[in-house]
Structure 1
Amino acid sequence: MHPVHAPVIFPRWYSIGAALVAVMLWSAAPLLAEFAKATPPLQLTAVTLLAGALATLPLSRRVNVAASGFGWQFSIWVGVPLLIFGAVSTYFIGMRLAPAAEAALITYTWPVLFVLLTQWSRFGRLRLAGALGALIAFSGAALLLVPQAISGGLGGATTGYALALLAAFCWAIYSWLSQAAPVALTPILPRLLLVASAIASGASLLLEGRIALPSGEALLAGIALGLGPYGIAMVAWDKALRWGHTSLVGSLAYGVPILAALLLVLAGMSVLDWRLPAAAVLVIAGCIKAGR
């Protein structure tokens, strides 16, 4: 889920096809998470990340991380797994405490946060386009939350929305680290996912009690989450960015929140409200503006 810059080598439709695969799989994540609601969220995180590690295993190859220095070794082997664990677990918990479509939309403000973080790290300041993009994107989130807050109707959903925003921050920092790291992280992604799965297992044992595999539909949904959104999608996205034009491919990702909300509505797990598509348009417009 991080940009990789490379020259165009393959026909454009190769990269567009790979990007569409990633976008469709990411769009299915909220729906699959709803099917796995019977499973405690940290346990579901552990299963999902383990399945993701297995799905990305063919990518694994030796990378000399030790040559990067202690700071980067710590960031890669400890920081990145913690960020992956934080992003996935807070995403799952947030969708338990708040309406899934709205929580997913808030999480998908992460591209804006990534742009702001990149601008700050490179230039020591925020550029006007980035700041305006962030304001537009977060006005979409506000469109969902402010009317409920004014009427006193947020209740326990406030925590869910806050966790969804925390997931967005985790993905943004993870993407920035992936871009800034002196070595490519894709070849060691299976190991990073395994470490993140181990962290999730420990947290589940500590906070949720005994660890047990989910059963039936929840187990299948957890495996599908790992194989798809947190496995094949990450590989497809990496290939799309390597094979094609980054800005063209990246623009396809802005359709994820709309498709995710549409799938939830079609499955009867979310109610279509005018604010949801309006907020999705604002988030996408903000991402495009910040990305420019």
Structure 2
Amino acid sequence: MSRVQATGVGFVAVLLWALLALLTVRSAPVPPLLLNTICFAIGGTCGLIWTFLSGGLGVLRRVPRRVYVFGTLGLFGYHALYFSALRLAPAAEAGLIAYLWPLLIVLFSGLLPGERLRRGHVIGAIAGFAGAALIISGAGQGFEARHLPGYALALICALTWSGYSVLSRVVGDAPTQSVTLFCLGAAALSLPLHLAFEQTVLPTSATAWAATVLLGLGPVGLAFFVWDIGVKRGDIQLLGAASYAAPLLSTGILVIAGAAPVSATLGLAALLITGGAAVAAYASFGSSANSTNA
């Protein structure tokens, strides 16, 4: 698979993740850790079937244990934080803060060997975090302290996924089939924590069941496999840049589905977060182009 093809495969994950917020909202009232358990069990089972059919089961035994620990904690942590954030704060607003991860990927990738942070990265970061601050402050509608825990979890969520994506380069020799055990491991980690800290509440309607299953098949299933291919074999900075479409796509889907109200504050925050990622990405592309021409 070429670098360009791998980058295109990775972008499929961005499209799937644009549905993550809506499906999370529609899966209510399932608590976060139980939702983690169900979704990762579905995604891991599908991955196990694919790995078996592709003859990759033997490969899994050769993957270092540290890789499994890294992958399991990354997937578990991000989604436990994300699902919790959207249960504790308005979905569109918390989702936008969580979608600071494309910007953070571009910033963090600038710290990789051979890369450096540039003025555009800093400007993009200021714009993105201004959008997050606008959400948290309420922008004239008043600060609501009851939503602060959800917003805080969303920010930690963004840091978790961007860090996981960039650090994946360190374990880039692990096969994509290893994501299967990441998913199953995340499900196995979520279940005892759910039993210890949450009340079991299964989906109460056909819509909630459908949303939960679709989460496991797509945003919490297939997305990880194609993203793994993209960040390991493709252009990670290009993927980080392409990902800036995710906040707008996710917010638009929530509004169209009636799961979030239309507001000027929400639109401005989405533009700041998306625009910040775009500016940071442009700084990376500009420097790469200059290096190539030189």
TM-score by length of 1: 0.82
Q: 1:19 to 1:175 in 2, by over 3 A?
A: closer
Where does residue 178 of structure 1 map in the other structure?
Answer: 168
What is the DSSP-based 3-state SS (H/G/I as helix, E as strand, rest coil) of the residue aligned with 1:156?
helix
Conserved? CA contact 2:132–2:273, under 8 Å: yes
Structure 2 residues without counterparts, runs of 5 or longer: 285-294
- Among 3, 7, 13, the alignment partner of 1:7 is 3
In structure 2, what is the equivalent of residue 252 of structure 1?
242
Alignment of 1:253-292 (within 5 A): 253-291=243-281, 292=284
Aligned residue number for residue 31 of structure 1: 22
1:135 to 120, 126, 134: 126
Structure-2 separation of matches of 1:181 and 1:239: 12
In the alignment of these two chains, the number of paired residues is: 274
Q: Does 1:120 align with 2:120?
A: no
Contact preservation (8 Å) 1:36, 1:221: yes
Which residue number corresponds to residue 81 of structure 2? 90
Q: Residues 26-65 of structure 1 correspond to what in structure 2 (within 5 A)? A: 26-57=17-48, 58-59=50-51, 61=56, 62-63=59-60, 64-65=62-63
CA contact (8 A) 2:245 2:274 kept: yes
Is contact 2:109–2:237 with CA below 8 Å preserved after alignment? no
- 1:156-195 correspondence to structure 2 within 5 Å: 156-195=146-185
Q: 2:73, 2:96 → 1: CA distance?
A: 22
Shift of 1:55: 3.0
In the alignment, what sits opposite 1:219? 209
Q: Distance between the aligned counterparts of 1:285 and 1:86, measured in 2?
A: 27
2-side partners of 1:111 and 1:239: how far apart? 17
Deviations 1:180-233 (A, max 9, x none): 115225220010111111111111011014x57545432321121111112222
Distance 1:225 1:6 in 2: 29
**Structure 1 unaligned regions, length at least 5:** 67-72
Question: Once structures 1 and 2 are overlaid, which stretch shifts more, 155-164 or 117-126?
Answer: 117-126
Contact 1:19 1:252 in 2 (8 A): no
Please say which of residues 182-191 and 41-50 is displaced more in the overlay.
182-191
1:33 positional shift: 0.6
Could you say what secondary structure the match of 1:56 adopts? Answer: helix
Indicate the residue corresponding to 1:197 in structure 2.
187
The aligned amino acid for 1:116 is L
* Percent of residue pairs identical: 35
CA 1:287–1:97: 2 relative to 1, 3 Å? same
Pair 180,104 (structure 1): closer, same or farther in 2 beyond 3 Å: same
Alpha-carbon RMSD:
2.9
Offset of 1:259 from its aligned partner?
Answer: 1.4
**Structure 1 residues 70-81: aligned runs within 5 Å:** 73-74=65-66, 76-81=67-72
Q: Could you list the per-position Cα deviations for residues 91-127 of structure 1 after superposition, in whole angstroms to 9, with x for gaps in the alignment?
A: 1111111110111111110122233333335379744
* 1:101 partnered with 2:92: yes
**TM-score scaled by length of structure 2:** 0.81
One-letter amino acid matched to 2:265:
R
Contact residue 73 and residue 186 of structure 2 kept, 8 A: yes
Aligned residue identity for 1:195? G
Letter in 1 for 2:89: A
* Cα distance change on mapping 1:46 and 1:138 into 2, 3 Å: same
